[in-house]
Copies of this chain bind each other. A is one copy, B any other.
Amino acid sequence: MADKTKVLITGASGLVGGVLREGLGDKYQLSGVDRQSIPDFDLLVADSTDLEAVQPAFEGKDVVIDLASSPSDKIPWETAYGNNIRCTYNALQAASEAGVKRVIFASSNHATGMYENDKPFSDIVAGRYEGLDPQSIPRIEVTWPVRPDGPYGIAKAFGEAAGRYFSDEFGLSVICLRIGTLNAESRPQSPRHFATLLTHRDLVHLVDRCIQAPDDIEFAIFYGVSNNTWRFWDISNSEKLVGYQPQDNAEQWR
């Protein structure tokens, strides 16, 4: 039997990390790096702002899922700068130097969140559907210019630009996932979530598809969102490139 693919998860103790450990633990040889330990999980306790401290965790890994980041989209600039931007660059550098083949970077929908101030997105996130046909609403594509909605989103846009550089310069395959609304309940908690929800099941499927994706994907950006009726992010590129086919639709909880 072939050895399992070795996958490192940075920030493995967080919400997304927990979902991925649960969902991918049987299929891959998982390990982690985090500031805190996780019982019964192969993890290096280190702070991702410290490149040298985290580097050993990257050695010998095939794929890195880079989640290390302050997870709130409300963080001030000081946190985005002092923590998130540093963690992201360090993960790319450590992965590149260790010869990792691919980094799956947890970007965020907040890299383009300001589009939600424009119609019809502003109506959809408020749950105002009058006059709107979900079959014909525009969908934000990953080729649209970034419009971060705060320092958190700026740091994610930075990470995508840095990822592109590492891909172009060092041949590191980088896939950026602009994750939608991933919450502990895995169901909508507000009108906006009927558009933006990403269920645990669909997240695990998406990341699995990105791990399995062809080696010739040098760089890509995908929105991570379930197949919600009111979804306004385009996911046709991830369906085409990696076979992403979300199974859930937030309407099932309406």
Q: Which residues of A contact B (CB under 8 A)?
A: 77, 81, 85-86, 89, 93, 111, 114, 117, 143, 145-151, 153-154, 157-158, 161-162, 164-165, 168-169
Interface of A is mostly: helix
Q: Which residue of B77, B146, B162, B169 contacts A89 across the interface (Cβ within 8 Å)? A: B77
Residue numbers in B under 8 Å from A86 (CB-CB):
81
Contact assessment for A161 and B164 in the assembled complex, using a CB-CB cutoff below 8 Å: no
Given the contacts A81-B85, A157-B158, A158-B154, A146 and B164 also touching, CB distance less than 8 Å: yes
Contact assessment for A146 and B168 in the assembled complex, using a CB-CB cutoff below 8 Å: no
Given the contacts A85-B81, A158-B154, A149 and B164 also touching, CB distance less than 8 Å: no
A160: nearest chain-B partner, CB-CB: B146
Docked pose: A164 CA to B89 CA in angstroms: 21
The smallest C-beta distance from A11 to any residue of chain B, in angstroms, reads 20
Residue numbers in B under 8 Å from A158 (CB-CB):
154, 157-158, 161
Contact assessment for A165 and B161 in the assembled complex, using a CB-CB cutoff below 8 Å: no
Given the contacts A164-B114, A164-B147, A165-B114, A81 and B89 also touching, CB distance less than 8 Å: yes
Q: List 5 A-B contacts (CB under 8 A).
A: A149-B169, A150-B165, A150-B169, A153-B165, A157-B157
Contact assessment for A168 and B81 in the assembled complex, using a CB-CB cutoff below 8 Å: no
A156: nearest chain-B partner, CB-CB: B161
Contact assessment for B143 and A161 in the assembled complex, using a CB-CB cutoff below 8 Å: no
Given the contacts A154-B162, A158-B161, A117 and B81 also touching, CB distance less than 8 Å: no
A151: nearest chain-B partner, CB-CB: B165
